[in-house]
Structure 1
């Protein structure tokens, strides 16, 4: 079964979402794309619509592949195959094409994330040459009561805290937690800061999502006080951190401030291209 590729630069967001939703039907976790959420993801994750592809077999839609790019690193951001065509080697052909294209661009490496219980996908990526790099985890936090007193937490523009995030965040951040994802952040994402700590949150859903958090200096309990104030800012609402954070990053701090690791985790895999 031969797969032909059509650049997503030639496809509407509506068609891309329809193909993504079909490709992720019956996935390990529920997935639903719409044009607005996909457009925001394209912007934040630096998805390259020219490099991303609609997969076709015999002139019919077979799946979709999203490719993100930063510098000399490419990322397989999504790969969904239509349910009737799974197991026919379409995913393997798409991955091979993405690797060949990345090499032709002179990229140094390719990365991806996959839910660690998705053994079929992991097998496809392993056969293509990808190897496990690290575990990515998420967290939840129970609702907290309103703060008894005022604090110094200040709303601000997301751009105002980018220098602090870039200075405090580790160089080996995962793709989706890198401060580069938030350079163009706008509503519904909200930014808060004190003099030495800052965070970005998305409170548009049932649970408040903590997208990123940084402290200029971890001494003197600044981070803990800021976290307490942030949680109280959205009193009586549950919180989540998506499963995109390296398992070794901030684990002690998050546990100390009441966060619990989620059951869902991902495996970050990488392939050197040099």
Structure 2
């Protein structure tokens, strides 16, 4: 039996309540996730999540799930869709996806995109039935700790905004949503920027592993990128590194492999629905 679903814009919902809905909606998820107001607020800013368009999903006046919608220009993204465990299988996810598609068409959007862990067959099936098609695979990487080095070859901290022009100039024209330089236009702590004259990186060293969020070289010649990577790793010697599984599989794979990065087992499928 299909549940009767209603929607409440997240513009009218406190962040703490949204976090509670996300935590309940992702209970038992393939990858353990935790939500808190601070990290959610940062994600809203970086990923351009539209709280007006995003929705709390309700059944019989009770929270049944949550849907986050991000927007950039004429493209919308289904950034999260979580359904409370007791209500899974009642058709709520399919109704929410249909509503997102209908609203995107009303806005005049050209396409709707999303990412799903490729082993999540139930979610993939829901999106496929709604008309989404696979576009590309998104992967992540890890790097083992490196020994301390005597020199970091001039790698210096700088304001995150200072490296944005370099990222915009060096980045592919079609990045994944979460690796786009647009995510870092307003970057603040814990994100840090490091650069030399010809290369720059954005990192988050606040956790047990250092997360590499962006890496760009002005001109990929004379080993500049490789030397910068070595210096970057040495700056946090004896700590492991990660790149989230948000990077297109064809982007920088050769360079990352050559500098000691190993692809993780977890990958995501980027899917899209053209709305024209």
TM range (shorter): over 0.9
Flag as ranges the 4+ runs of structure 1 deviating above 3 A.
none
Corresponding residue of 1:182: 184
Count of aligned residue pairs for this structure pair: 274
1:146 and 1:72 map into 2 onto residues whose CA distance is 47
Aligned ranges 1:94-113 → 2 under 5 Å: 94-113=96-115
Corresponding residue of 1:203: 205
Aligned ranges 1:25-64 → 2 under 5 Å: 25-64=27-66
How well do the aligned residues superpose, as a CA RMSD in angstroms? 0.5
Corresponding residue of 1:70: 72
Tell me the CA shift for residue 66 of structure 1. 0.1
Q: Which runs of 5+ in 1 are unaligned?
A: none
1:149 and 1:3 map into 2 onto residues whose CA distance is 60
Deviations 1:54-92 (A, max 9, x none): 000011110000000000000000000000000110000
Confirm whether residue 6 of structure 1 aligns to residue 8 of structure 2. yes
Corresponding residue of 1:253: 255
TM-score (norm 1): 0.99
TM-score (norm 2): 0.99
Tell me the CA shift for residue 154 of structure 1. 1.1
2:152 and 2:215 map into 1 onto residues whose CA distance is 21
| 2:163 maps to which of 154, 158, 161 | 161
Tell me the CA shift for residue 150 of structure 1. 4.4
* 8 Å Cα contact 2:64/2:84 also seen in 1: yes
Q: Which runs of 5+ in 2 are unaligned?
A: none
